């Protein structure tokens, strides 16, 4: 596989994840008003938002977290190698993109399971 076809695949995977995560977020807003996001949902939102380098302030506002919550998640994600910090910008790593891919797959499986019940 050439690097251009590899980057095209990566781009389409991220676009698919963007769509699926947006769909999951909207579905939760419609079906579960008042239910708080889980830790994995928050992590996925941070990783998705950081596909392009972002500042800590931008991440905080986009994910609707206060500073202490954000700091806890950012420290954990960088320690685990899911995010990387370059100067004052954070970006999702390949390991973080793999997390997103697995998160979307798991949510799809759970949705299928729940619809069969």
The rounded distance, in Å, linking the Cα atoms of 23 and 28 is: 9
- Asked if pLDDT for residue 29 goes beyond 90, the answer is no
Give helix 39-49 / helix 56-63 axis angle, nearest 10°: 130
Contact (Cβ atoms closer than 8 angstroms) between residue 90 and residue 73: no
Segment 49-71 shows an average pLDDT of 95
In percent, the amount of the chain with pLDDT more than 70 equals 69
What is the predicted pLDDT for the residue at 90? 97
**CATH code, domain with 55:** 1.10.10.10
Contact (Cβ atoms closer than 8 angstroms) between residue 47 and residue 77: yes
pLDDT digits (tens, 9 = 90+) for 64-79: 999 999 999 999 999 9
Question: If pLDDT is split at 50, 70 and 90, which confidence band does 108 have?
Answer: confident
Looking at the structure of the chain, the number of domains it has is 1
Containing domain of residue 104, as a range? 3-116
Count of CB atoms situated within 10 Å of the CB of 20:
19
């Amino acid at each position: 596989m050439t690097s251009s076809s590899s980057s095209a695949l990566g781009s389409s995977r991220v676009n698919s994840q963007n769509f699926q995560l947006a769909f999951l977020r909207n579905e939760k807003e419609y079906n579960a008003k008042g239910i708080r996001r889980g830790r994995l949902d928050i992590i996925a939102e941070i990783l998705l938002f950081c596909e392009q380098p972002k500042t800590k302030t931008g991440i905080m506002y986009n994910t609707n977290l206060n500073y202490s919550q954000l700091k806890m998640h950012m420290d954990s994600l960088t320690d685990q190698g899911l995010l990387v910090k370059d100067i004052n910008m954070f970006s999702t790593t390949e390991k973080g993109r793999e997390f997103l891919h697995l998160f979307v797959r798991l949510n799809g499986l759970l949705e299928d399971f729940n619809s069969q019940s």
